[in-house]
Amino acid sequence: MFEVVIGLEVHVQLNTDTKLFCSCPTSFNDRPNVNTCPTCLALPGALPVLNKSVLEKSVMLGTAIGATVNRTSFFDRKSYFYPDSPSAYQITQLYTPVVEHGKLEIDFEDGSKKTIRINRAHIEADAGKNIHEGAVSKVDLNRAGTPLLEIVSEPDMRSAEEAVLYVKKLHSIVRYLDISNANMQEGSFRVDVNVSIRPKGDEKLYTRVEIKNINSFRFIQKAIEIEVERQIEAWEDGVYDEEIYQETRLFDQNKQETRSMRGKEEAADYRYFPEPDLLKAVIDDEMFETYSQIPELPDEKKERLVSEYGMREYDAAVITAELETAHFFEAMLAEGINAKNAVTWLTVELQGRLKGGMTITSSPVDAKTLGTLVKRIEDKTISGKAAKEVLDYLMENESDVDGAIDKLGLKQMNDTGALEKIIDEIIAANADKVEEYRGGKDKLFGFFVGQTMKASKGTANPQTVNEMLKAKLG
């Protein structure tokens, strides 16, 4: 029997206005190479100057993961030649990173928890992008020098499931802190997975294989499962030593396989040495005090929702996992509605209607509108069924809730006089059925309810209808 061992390196692109060591803007979807200068083009003589806001965001992350924030950290030079890195080295932090010894708690579906240790988070500069067009390769350096925080876990995860929970939790924290837009498709949150196997009970670490740049939670799961299978098969076939060696592999989502990309360099190949062009990075007391005051994190928000509104732990976890959802939910509650109703109308009714790449942020129905709609159910202006129709209408048409209710004629009939008249007419028109009902055919009650609802065009309050019919039919 084998045990799976996984450690993750996550590259988080920080949402600073300017690059790590120069004042070029960090928007890299512009025309290629416009956001560059002598520093990020690595022209001789240009010197780097550290962007202070990168340290501020590092303090926030370090605080959120309960880590040691090194008030003095240093930069190192990592040599490698690649067309998208004009200096032929990367500035990073090897020996004294800005953040060390953190941890993160993951939650399993059954309610149990596990702590994953985080070895370090260090600051480094991103590379540019190589663009391959047929036989021609081009280089765009707009991204060169963009600040990254690389967050490196200990090899503490034991399954693909644990790895995904860890990545989701880290993603959520980074979004709550608002230190990165963390968009996985656009490469602002890139995950490298290190995977090895070992016989159960063995304490030693076996050869790790690194799988790079996997851009969705689902692919992380898949890539690990496939790689684990490859390693186990090699072991069972007696070719583990030949086939499994330290290397970097690529996950191919179409072919559903991992494929060798390059042999993994040893640290010595990078010829690390202290970066001579930069001063030490110092976090002074004022910066530390200001930025260690971090906003409410997902777990804290979850616990607050449970204790404040008596929400189910599971609902609270769904609502708080993503910052946008949590904000939407809280804005709905501001309309003074019941939390349980808010959960249903947000996670079932609204999210069920978001189609074709639409997200909660681009939803045509905003939180205040949805909150008002729920309020109209709670104050009995409309029935829950009618509210679904109103929501359908609001998804397609620009309107406020009350305007839509009027327009669709769905206002609930709370006028008992009018309802009584309808019921009297139905009883008069169905004398035979009334006889049968009174003679013991109880099922016919549903018939009368149906007729009444129909005659009121669905606007009668079902509970009032029931009560009134019971009284009239005896």
Question: Does the footprint of ligand ADP cover residue 62 (CB under 6 A)?
Answer: no
CB neighbours of residue 307 within 10 Å: 10
- Which residue in the block uniquely carries the two structure tokens 């249903």? 344
3-state secondary structure of 193: strand
Quote the strand ranges of 74-135, DSSP E: 76-79, 89-92, 99-107, 113-125, 129-133
Cα dihedral 54, 96, 205, 156, rounded to 10, equals -40
CB neighbours of residue 457 within 10 Å: 11
Give least dist CB 155 to ligand ADP, A. Answer: 4
Residues numbered 9 to 48 that lie near Mg ion (CB under 5 A) are 9
Give least dist CB 23 to ligand ADP, A. Answer: 29
Q: Which does 37 bind (CB under 5 to 8 A by kind): ligand ADP, Zn ion, Mg ion, none?
A: Zn ion
Q: Which does 225 bind (CB under 5 to 8 A by kind): ligand ADP, Mg ion, Zn ion, none?
A: none
Give dist(CA 439, CA 451) in Å, integer. 20
Question: Does the footprint of Zn ion cover residue 40 (CB under 5 A)?
Answer: yes
Question: Does the footprint of ligand ADP cover residue 25 (CB under 6 A)?
Answer: no
Provide the mask over 133-172, with x wherever binding to ligand ADP is found by CB under 6 A and - wherever it is not: -------------------xxxx-----------------
* Of residues 172, 169, 186, 147, the one with CA closest to residue 53: 147
- CA-based torsion, 211, 216, 218, 219: positive or negative: negative
Residues numbered 187 to 206 that lie near ligand ADP (CB under 6 A) are 194-196, 205-206
Residues contacting residue 161 through CB under 8 Å, at least 6 positions apart: 221
Residues numbered 324 to 343 that lie near ligand ADP (CB under 6 A) are none
Give least dist CB 137 to Mg ion, A. Answer: 24
Q: Where are the alpha helices (DSSP H) in 322-443?
A: 323-333, 339-344, 351-353, 367-378, 384-396, 401-408, 416-429, 431-438
Query: In residues, how long is the chain?
Result: 474
Question: Does the footprint of Mg ion cover residue 247 (CB under 5 A)?
Answer: no
Give least dist CB 310 to ligand ADP, A. Answer: 40
Q: In this structure, what DSSP letter does residue 460 have?
A: B
Q: Which does 24 bind (CB under 5 to 8 A by kind): Mg ion, ligand ADP, Zn ion, none?
A: Zn ion
Residue (154 or 366) nearer to ligand ADP, CB? 154
Residue (195 or 469) nearer to ligand ADP, CB? 195
Residues forming a β-bridge with 91:
77
Give dist(CA 200, CA 226) in Å, integer. 19
Question: Does the footprint of Mg ion cover residue 154 (CB under 5 A)?
Answer: no
Q: Which does 205 bind (CB under 5 to 8 A by kind): Zn ion, ligand ADP, Mg ion, none?
A: ligand ADP
Question: Does the footprint of ligand ADP cover residue 7 (CB under 6 A)?
Answer: yes
Give least dist CB 201 to ligand ADP, A. Answer: 16
Longest dimension (CA), the chain: 102
Question: Does the footprint of ligand ADP cover residue 231 (CB under 6 A)?
Answer: no
Residue (32 or 155) nearer to ligand ADP, CB? 155
Residues touching ligand ADP, count (CB under 6 A): 16
Which run of H or of E encompasses 11? strand 2-13
The span of 2-10, 304-312, 347-355, 399-407 binding ligand ADP (CB under 6 A) equals 2-10
Give least dist CB 214 to ligand ADP, A. Answer: 14
How deeply is 101 buried, as exposed, middle or buried, from its count of CB atoms within 10 A (0-12, 13-18, 19+)? middle
Residues contacting residue 26 through CB under 8 Å, at least 6 positions apart: 15, 16, 17, 18, 19, 35, 146, 147
Give least dist CB 7 to ligand ADP, A. Answer: 2
Question: Does the footprint of ligand ADP cover residue 348 (CB under 6 A)?
Answer: no
Give least dist CB 293 to Zn ion, A. Answer: 31
Contact residues: Zn ion, CB under 5 A: 22, 24, 37, 39-40
Residues that bind ligand ADP (CB under 6 A): 5-9, 152-155, 194-196, 205-206, 208, 210
Residues that bind Mg ion (CB under 5 A): 9
